[in-house]
Amino acid sequence: MLKLGNYTVNMGGFTDGAEIFLSEAAKYLLLLLFVVLAIRLWRRLPRLSAGNKRADLVLACLTTVLAGAIGYFSICHSLGRLYLYYATRAFNSGYLVSAFSLFEKSSEYWKSADALGGEGVCLMLSGKTDEGLKLIDEAKRLRKGRNNSFESFYEGVHFFFQEQPDRAVPLLEQASSDAAYAWTVTKLFAVIYVDNHQFADAERLMKPFAGAGITDYDQAYVMASLEFFQGKKAEAKVLVDKFGLDTLPPFWKTRYDKLRAKIQNQAS
């Protein structure tokens, strides 16, 4: 983000958009050059002598084939990008099935690491873990051994909720460099510290956000645990009663129930 007076410019989004625009423009400019060259070669062919006509015919055919190939791959690449864009929008809006279909369509036009990784994340979140992880690994291979922050975040979250912090932490740490995931990763790391009774580390991690309003049950669990650790049982109980609902996913409900039991045991 870049602050310009009263305006904030997302420089990351701007540079990504500029890169796409320039690459698309360069691609179709190259296509245009080959098309124009092919047309000029074919138009001058009848005016050439028999000795020069054969060489010019070969050149005209070759240029036409190259123009066709450039056009075909340019259109496939552009359609792959277009479907990838709409797949990302669908995923961010919570339409997992539509997102998977669009990621898959993007791969059909242009097999990119981002499209394969998107398919993998959708499958993983749909419960098809093995298939999803296989595609994420394939995307990693295409990028020569690295995942992007999107794939790292969701793979890390998967292992986090599978109670495998050793596998989750490196992935979440990688994703934390992306501002879109930094806050969520911070909370998950704080949960790991609390579960390991490393309350000082959890407190240090959450200190910069001490003034932030508590709106999520992961944040509430961390803050309630820290309040209880500091001897503020009443404050901890308020948070547990507010956020520790029966409708919570099992991962969180188990932790809230344990924390509630500790508070009640100390109160009695």
Vertex 112 angle, CA 158 and 87, to 5°: 60
pTM of the model: 0.82
Q: Which tops the pLDDT comparison, 140 or 268? A: 140
Tens-digit pLDDT profile for residues 17-49: 556 667 778 888 888 998 998 888 888 877 766
Tens-digit pLDDT profile for residues 214-223: 999 999 999 9
CB-neighbour burial class of residue 134 (10 A; exposed 0-12, middle 13-18, buried 19+): middle
Give the pLDDT confidence score for residue 209 in this predicted structure. Answer: 86
